[in-house]
Structure 1
Amino acid sequence: MDKEIKDKIFASIGGHFLVDLYSPLLPIILPALILNMNLSFFLAGLIVTAFNVTSSVVQPFAGLYSDRTGKKASIWICVLFSSVGISLAVLTNNYLLMLILVSCAALGSALFHPAAMESVFRLSPPEKRGVFNSIFTTSGSVSYSIGPLIAGIMITFYGLSSIAWLVIPGILGAIWIYSVDKKFQTSHVAFFERKRPVRKKDRAKYWWVPAGLVVTLCSLRAWTYVGIITYLPALLILGQQGMDTITTSLIVTIMLFIGVSGQIAGGYLSDRFGRKNMLVFGFASAVPFFCLIFLTQGWLMYVGIFMYSFFACFCYVTSVTMMQELLPGSVGFASGLTLGLCVGVGGIGAAIIGWAADGMGSLPDAMFLMVIPTIICPILAVFIKYPGNERIRKNES
């Protein structure tokens, strides 16, 4: 592997770190926005919804378009949009302008993921493809985990407006990625040739039935997980816990890091024991820990928060892999569905929980309603007709 190809791969990995650094800032910002702008829980949740819905609508189509034509968005522009949109949203008191900025950030994220994932997959040597894909996924998960802590420290010591300074690493990263792209395009024009269209015979008969169930499961999982991430800071800061922003940010960061370990465990164990088996196991294990969050206090509540995150992410990476194997030849489209559409459904669910909290007058009671999709997930997972891992490998060979 020559230097230009390696630089191009790591530019995609670095871009993933930057893009996923900004989206988890929203839940940490929300409590301050609720107080500063006198927002209801519904309007606060709608900010997250604007981000997730915009990403969900664009991402599957971007992935499908890339699969069929080989054309994709410039990664450096996506990084720039993501950083500018989120960072500058805190400087305005105009709610509509804030939604526009957040939506622009979501657009950058939506276009980035299928483009970057396809580049890493295509440029990596076959014998190292798994390693580079793992590094790519982990880079985003790590930045997604540390983002809330960085935001919490900045808000506590320097105020909400200090978040605007986070636009600097995004701009510098975009400049670096742009320079790498220019060198790469000059020396490796062949890599930009049009790819072959997706062939229907690559897909199993009635592929849409198990794929539809996987998308449904991903959507229900995203509803509860995004809901927890969105409202957990408000629950801990504004609720009976009465925590400060730094402590809350630390809890969310630990929760997200444990989710990273769940992703790694889910991918490894699904290779060994089968995707469906691990999907059912993960969803079933998440149910009791979700209940601990709202039915207990003290250390048991924290066990519930952290272990729910572990099993929710455990199921996430398994379901994404299942979707890619159900749609061979359409990696961008499969990723767009699981990373985009399903997360968008989760964003809509966050707004519904906010609406329910306003109506019920209780955020904890409204959040506990998410136990319903949490229980439905393992039941639906049992009914997925999915070939075993050995059969998948045999079909691919």
Structure 2
Amino acid sequence: MRRIYDAKITGAVSGHFLIDLYTPVLPVILPLLITSMGLSYFLAGLVVTVFNVTSSITQPFIGLYGDRTGKRASVPLCVLIGSAGISLSVLTNDYLILLLLVTGAAVGHALFHPSAMAIVHQLSPPAKKGLYNSIFTTSGSISYSIGPLIAGFLITVGGLPSVAWMVLPGFLGAAWIFRNDRRTGAVEPVKKAAVEKKPVRERYWWIPAGLVVTVCALRAWAYVGVITYLPTLLLLWYQGIDTMTTSIIVTVMLFSGVLGQISGGYLSDRFGRKRVLVLGFLAAVPCFCLIFLSAGWPMYAGIMLYAFFASFCYVASVTMTQDLLPGSVGFASGLTLGLSMGVGGVGAALIGWAADVMGSLPDAMFLLIVPTVLCPILALFIRYPGKLAGAAEE
């Protein structure tokens, strides 16, 4: 039975790797869409906003519905929809069709994450839930990092339409996961130990949980804004940087974020989640300033270090929310992985609008210093007793 459980978990982890491969492709193709379709910064940012809002804001409700009914979306179908929507968006010159394709991909993402995370949570061994959850999360972060590199290579070799070939990994991966699910069949979740206490939420849990989600949303606003417009900033505002070089920079930046995510998760277990949250956000502020107040290697160092520390807080914030909402993994994950990223998507459109009004993308992006500074300040006020760090372990 353990082998069947692991096969199901492998399918969920593989699906996470595949579906998150496509999300960062949008920022890479935005500069080319701006020039080929004549888009303003606002309309370009709106593409990312539509994706993030559709995929993210609906996730808490999908997760809550799944927690209450036990019904989950098909993982392979979600992977197929998510990969096709992004990959095929480069084949149209119609802005409305572009938005429809991106919206379809977003629906696949919205349905996938609560369903796949529930599979991992329910079928992983009780003593290793943290490890399996980390594997699931990191698989998506790694693919999120290499997505821009693949897209940049295809654009360099065959132009923007060649990005459509990226649909192949999603199609083949979805077929493999579907076959894997058919072979293993339906299984029951791992039963919890009889001595395990029923999860009890703290009184007024919504206050600290809401504050954590608010901080996550502000972090996402700044982080998504930087990721969304960094390729455009490098390609259209700095001379001598081509698409492939930009893709490499973004890929290294996202890999730096993966390292930060792993480091932050490990250190939050040892030194406390709130402490890691506050210190990570504090360290991100000067790194953010380096991106816009320096040039050359200091600027690139700022990009990498900002990604590291902004992601350093990621696992801690997700785990804090799950600790504050025991028994509601789908809902908690939807809030931190979904709702907060939706706010980040809306923020991306606002920065695009500001760039159009100000006539300067760098100046508009520097406005993201406001949510960056607010994060450590608000994190200080989160009421999170240390005993909760291990309360949710199952």
Pairwise CA distance, 1:256:
0.2
Do the aligned residues in 2 keep the contact of 1:90 with 1:161 (CA within 8 Å)?
yes
Query: Could you say what secondary structure the match of 1:202 adopts?
Result: coil
1-side partners of 2:279 and 2:321: how far apart?
18
1-side partners of 2:187 and 2:119: how far apart?
14
1:99 maps to which residue? 99
2-side partners of 1:21 and 1:206: how far apart?
38
* Counterpart pick for 2:324 among 301, 307, 326: 326
Aligned CA distance change for structure 1 residues 176 and 37 (closer, same or farther; 3 Å): same
1:366 maps to which residue? 364
1:148 maps to which residue? 148
Pairwise CA distance, 1:321:
0.8
Pairwise CA distance, 1:64:
0.5
1:64 maps to which residue? 64
Do the aligned residues in 2 keep the contact of 1:4 with 1:183 (CA within 8 Å)?
no
Aligned CA distance change for structure 1 residues 396 and 14 (closer, same or farther; 3 Å): closer
Pairwise CA distance, 1:394:
5.3
Fraction of identical pairs, as percent: 66
Aligned CA distance change for structure 1 residues 26 and 134 (closer, same or farther; 3 Å): same
Aligned CA distance change for structure 1 residues 276 and 191 (closer, same or farther; 3 Å): closer
Deviation string 1:317-351 (CA, Å, 9 cap, x unpaired) is: 11111111000000100000111110000000000
Within a 5 Å distance, the mapping from 1:1-397 to structure 2 comes to 1-185=1-185, 188-191=186-189, 202-388=200-386, 390-393=387-390
1:196 maps to which residue? none
Pairwise CA distance, 1:169:
1.0
Pairwise CA distance, 1:190:
3.5
2-side partners of 1:391 and 1:97: how far apart?
47
Query: Could you say what secondary structure the match of 2:313 adopts?
Result: helix
Do the aligned residues in 2 keep the contact of 1:70 with 1:192 (CA within 8 Å)?
no
* Runs of at least 5 residues in structure 2 that lack an aligned partner in the other structure: 192-196
Aligned CA distance change for structure 1 residues 205 and 396 (closer, same or farther; 3 Å): farther
2-side partners of 1:112 and 1:192: how far apart?
21
Q: How many residues align?
A: 389
1-side partners of 2:328 and 2:137: how far apart?
18
Do the aligned residues in 2 keep the contact of 1:259 with 1:309 (CA within 8 Å)?
yes
Pairwise CA distance, 1:128:
2.8
Query: Could you say what secondary structure the match of 1:367 adopts?
Result: helix
Do the aligned residues in 1 keep the contact of 2:272 with 2:389 (CA within 8 Å)?
no
2-side partners of 1:309 and 1:162: how far apart?
29
Aligned CA distance change for structure 1 residues 150 and 275 (closer, same or farther; 3 Å): same
Pairwise CA distance, 1:240:
2.6
Pairwise CA distance, 1:370:
0.5
Do the aligned residues in 1 keep the contact of 2:323 with 2:388 (CA within 8 Å)?
no
Using the size of structure 2 for normalisation, the TM-score is 0.96
* Runs of at least 5 residues in structure 1 that lack an aligned partner in the other structure: 194-198
Task: Give 2:390's aligned amino acid.
Answer: R
Using the size of structure 1 for normalisation, the TM-score is 0.95
Pairwise CA distance, 1:396:
6.2
Task: Give 1:79's aligned amino acid.
Answer: V
1-side partners of 2:55 and 2:169: how far apart?
22
1-side partners of 2:155 and 2:364: how far apart?
27
Do the aligned residues in 1 keep the contact of 2:199 with 2:326 (CA within 8 Å)?
no
Do the aligned residues in 2 keep the contact of 1:258 with 1:306 (CA within 8 Å)?
yes
Aligned CA distance change for structure 1 residues 270 and 191 (closer, same or farther; 3 Å): closer
Aligned CA distance change for structure 1 residues 395 and 298 (closer, same or farther; 3 Å): closer
Task: Give 2:201's aligned amino acid.
Answer: R
Task: Give 2:258's aligned amino acid.
Answer: V
Aligned CA distance change for structure 1 residues 68 and 297 (closer, same or farther; 3 Å): same
Do the aligned residues in 1 keep the contact of 2:124 with 2:190 (CA within 8 Å)?
no
Deviation string 1:245-281 (CA, Å, 9 cap, x unpaired) is: 0110000000000000000111111111111111110
Deviation string 1:225-248 (CA, Å, 9 cap, x unpaired) is: 000000000000000344100110
Pairwise CA distance, 1:392:
4.0
1-side partners of 2:188 and 2:170: how far apart?
29
Aligned CA distance change for structure 1 residues 358 and 275 (closer, same or farther; 3 Å): same
Query: Could you say what secondary structure the match of 2:385 adopts?
Result: coil
2-side partners of 1:333 and 1:394: how far apart?
18
